[in-house]
Amino acid sequence: MQDFEKLGLFYLGRAVDDGQPVLYDSSDLVTHGVCIGMTGSGKTGLCVGLIEEALIDSIPVIAVDPKGDLGNLLLNFPQLRPEDFAPWTQQPAETAQRWRDGLAAWGQDGARIQRLRDAAEFRLYTPGSRSGRPVSIMRPFDAPSADEDEESRRERIHASVSALLGLLGIEADPLQSREHILLSTIVQNAWQAGRSLDLGGIISEIQKPPVTRVGVMDVDTFFPPKERSELAMRLNNLLASPSFAAWSEGEPLDIDRILYTESGRPRAAIFSIAHLGDAERMFFVSLLLSNVVGWMRRQSGSASLRALLFMDEIAGYFPPVANPPSKPPLLTLLKQARAFGLGVLLATQNPVDLDYKGLSNTGTWFIGRLQTERDKQRVMEGLEGASAGRAFDRAKMESVLAGLGSRKFLLHNVHEDEDVVFETRWTLSYLAGPLTRAQLKQLGGFAPTVPAPSTLPAPAASRPVVDSAIPQYFLAARGLARRVIYRPMLFGEADVQFVDAKRGVDSSHDIRAAVDVVDGPLAVEWERAQALQTAACDLESEPLDGAGFAPLPSAAANVKKYAAWSRDFAGWIYATQQLELFTSPSLKQTSRPGEDERAFRIRLLQVAREQRDAEKEKLRRAYASKLTTAEDGVRRAEHAVQREEAQSRDSMLSTALQIGGSLLGSFMGRRTSMVSAGVSAARGVGRSATQASDVRRAEQNLQVASARRDDLQFQFQADLAAVEARVDPSTEVFETTAVKPKKANISVRLLALAWAPHDAESGKPLWE
């Protein structure tokens, strides 16, 4: 294994001055980063490499790609065969060999590419297009969770409404625009009532606002009905446009589901928006960022990197003066995301068009070759503002930036004492350049599903009459259909307390279920019940206009049946419902009530990362004094060797001079002097022998001190490796425990006749 292959450290390249690997601490990216460089500087390669390192470390990534070249992250071929490269280049054999040689020159190979592929799932999204995976934005105004604070709600409303109006070509000031104020009021009113809104609901409520006043003015005075109808028509035309159909297909913009697979495996989610127009890009980016902010604020605090958000070509979305819909959520992320472990990495080739006051929140700067003197001066201003109190040598920095070549970058990290100039490593992914729509479709196309034929009975002419003593509700429709038919079901809701004192569990849960009511001896079979997420507040008292009704079974009209069905519902809960808890033996962690295996694995990934970082830091502190003492011992031993060698040389020189003097005296005939000099020379020889012995002892002491230091360093590295070699939570086999409720802890709150809406043509439920 190469020296750079360490968890929590990103291998970015090699230092230009000494050729040592540049290893970037992943936790430093929690304070965000910015990458700046002109076309041809190697900026894309650096950012792709950094994303690869994050994925290898099991950190999920969302990447926004305005140019269409981040899809290259899916071009990773562990076997490096020419046929792997054939669809992406006209010279597959030469390209495969060039990639193999390039990787080898940087200490990498196909095994590391396989490690990247094993660490994460790659998905390519193309909003508004079927080239890749489309993204459904039909519900851009879903009601926030109960734990989302008021500030977050206001920010989401502001960004989403601004983006939607921008898509209509309306540049709206949130404080002056009637359109912006009206739409914001409509969304806020719905959210306060716990309701979500789709675009169809927005159109309806523009025509018939749910409020009578806006501020102190009557709504019709503030925004006359005729002009509201024109706004509704513009939005309806957008919704009815064939080119907008792709926006209603695909996966919902659920950040948690985008970052992790169903099994809890990290994901690289690449949003390619090169095919969109400027207004559509701004709409989608603003919507995505506001959803990321909402997801971020639902996470627990962390000092370790939990996820990475990367945006390329950020200039138009983060300008220095203007305030497009994308800028407020970006500023929020730069100011607050570090507390939640979300790192933000921004890149651009246009440094003049960035808000450097906002970028003062970034702790890491990657600066590549710049095109103009104006670009250099703007970057210098930004670097100086982000120096975090460190001494900033402007002249030296200008000199360094002037000497940068292709793939050479200055790394300025506020967490390190010195800057470093490095050359970026060879990417594991094949950089084929911007991808065409056909290539995007080849990497991740989407096929819409064909609805099944309707199996519902023909609708009744009118709504069946039911005894007033029978509670009766209508499940809220969550989808759209040209014709709706209501089907009768039995709806039950109960409060269930799961208690296990031994495991410290005391958790209350709402259990909701619906079951068909049929004619026959077994009118209700709770064994066939379907558990629901529908809350009582989603039950409506009136049906949709123009809807039809399936026939009502006679048992459902019998009020006496409902008491027995209520007892059966409680019995079904007692027999079937349980609280499953998962335990991680390696991390000594237990899942929380209501936390499924996927969510538990995702949480454990962060727990493991935090524990790893904390233990590594603890090891560094524990070994720091020992290593310092050992290093001091080596230096003292080296100085002793140098001192003894100097003394030995002096003694040998003195002895040589004495012997020379003795010989000269003999030659001159002075016998007495000769005898005296000879005695002195003999003594000098003895001293020289003693000095030589001292040198040997000093050298032995140096060897002992060096061995002690080397052993300590080896032990330190072994302890670090042991920390990094812990069980991977994404693959660990959990132990499971089931906590069942007691009958006394089951309280049925509601048992009612519920009419469930279905699409009359396809039979598809509209309430799930």
The domains located in the chain, with CATH, are: 474-578+741-759 (no CATH), 597-724 (1.10.287)
216-234 confidence digits (pLDDT tens): 899 999 999 999 999 988 8
Is pLDDT at 674 greater than 60 in this prediction?
A: no
Q: Is residue 522 very low, low, confident or very high in pLDDT (cuts 50, 70, 90)? A: confident
What is each CA distance from 729 to 105, 117, 207, 589, 602, in whole angstroms? 33, 17, 52, 11, 8
Higher pLDDT: 28 or 449? It is 28
Least confident piece of the model among 11-20, 467-476, 705-714: 705-714
In this prediction, residue 168 carries a pLDDT of 85
Spatial CA neighbour of 618 closest among 729, 719, 488: 719
* Lookup: tokens for 558: 């019998």
- Identify the three-state secondary structure at position 334: helix
Between helices 110-119 and 92-105, what is the axis angle to 10°?
Answer: 90
131: nearest Cα among 225, 16, 272: 272
- pLDDT value at position 446? 46
Q: How far is CA 467 from CA 494, 543, 548, 555, in A?
A: 23, 17, 20, 12
Per-residue model confidence (pLDDT) at position 767: 76
3-state secondary structure of 7: coil
Please name the residue that has the structure tokens 């409680």: 570
Q: Which of 54-68, 143-157, 202-216, 454-468 has the highest mean pLDDT?
A: 54-68
pLDDT for residue 294 is more than 90: no
The mean pLDDT of 380-385, rounded to a whole number, is 79
**Residue 391, pLDDT score:** 66
Contact of 36 with 380, CB cutoff 8 Å: no
N-term to C-term CA, the chain: 50
Q: What is residue 240's three-state secondary structure? A: helix
Residues 182 and 200: their CA atoms lie apart, in Å, by 16
Give the residue-averaged pLDDT of 589-599: 85
In the beta sheet, which residues pair with residue 757? 486
- With 60 as the cut, is the pLDDT of residue 643 above it? yes
Q: What is the pLDDT of residues 440-488, one digit of tens each?
A: 888 864 444 334 444 445 544 467 888 888 999 998 887 677 788 999 9
Supply the pLDDT for residue 453.
45
Q: What distance separates the 2 farthest-apart alpha carbons in the chain? A: 147
pLDDT of residue 2: 53
> CA-to-CA distance for 511 and 664, rounded, in angstroms?
113
Nearest to 584 by CA among 722, 739, 738, 736: 736
Contact 709, 637 (CB under 8 A): no
Distances from the Cα of 743 to the Cα of 46, 495, 528, 569, 667, angstroms: 61, 11, 21, 12, 121
* Among the ranges given (12-21, 378-387, 444-453), the one the predictor scored with the smallest mean pLDDT: 444-453
> Is it the case that residue 301 has pLDDT exceeding 60?
yes
Q: What is the pLDDT of residue 498?
A: 92
The pLDDT of residue 451: 41
Confidence of residue 607 (pLDDT cuts 50, 70, 90): confident
Q: Which two tokens stand for residue 241?
A: 């446009």
Which structure tokens are listed for 289?
């960022």
Strand partners, 69: none
Most confident of the following: 266-275, 577-586, 697-706, 716-725: 266-275
SS3 content of the chain, % helix, strand, coil (to 5): 45, 20, 35
Phi, psi of 764 (to 5 degrees): -70, 130
Tokens, residue 624 = 């720091």
Averaged pLDDT for residues 546-555: 87
Rounded to the nearest integer, the mean pLDDT of the chain is 84
Long-range residue pairs from 432-439, CB within 8 A, at least 24 positions apart, any chain: 432/69, 432/72, 432/75, 432/88, 432/89, 433/69, 433/72, 434/67, 434/68, 434/69, 434/274, 435/68, 435/69, 435/71, 435/72, 435/272, 437/129, 437/131, 437/275, 438/131, 439/71, 439/87, 439/88
Would you state the pLDDT for residue 448? 42
pLDDT at 651 over 70: no
98 pLDDT band, cuts 50/70/90, is very high
- Does residue 336 register a pLDDT over 90? yes
Q: How confident is the model at residue 153 (pLDDT cuts 50, 70, 90)?
A: confident
528 or 698, which is more confident? 528
Strand partners, 475: 539
Place of tokens 């991740």: 444
Return the structure tokens found at 275. Answer: 């095919």
In 203-362, DSSP assigns E strands to: 213-214, 217-218, 251-252, 267-272, 307-311, 342-348
Whether the per-residue pLDDT at 677 is higher than 80: the answer is: no
For the cut 70, the answer to whether the pLDDT of residue 671 exceeds it is no
Higher pLDDT, 402 or 46: 46
> What predicted TM-score, i.e. pTM, was given to this entire model?
0.71
Q: What is the mean pLDDT of residues 420-433?
A: 96
Instruction: Express as a percent the part of the chain with pLDDT over 70.
Output: 88
Average pLDDT over residues 737-761: 91
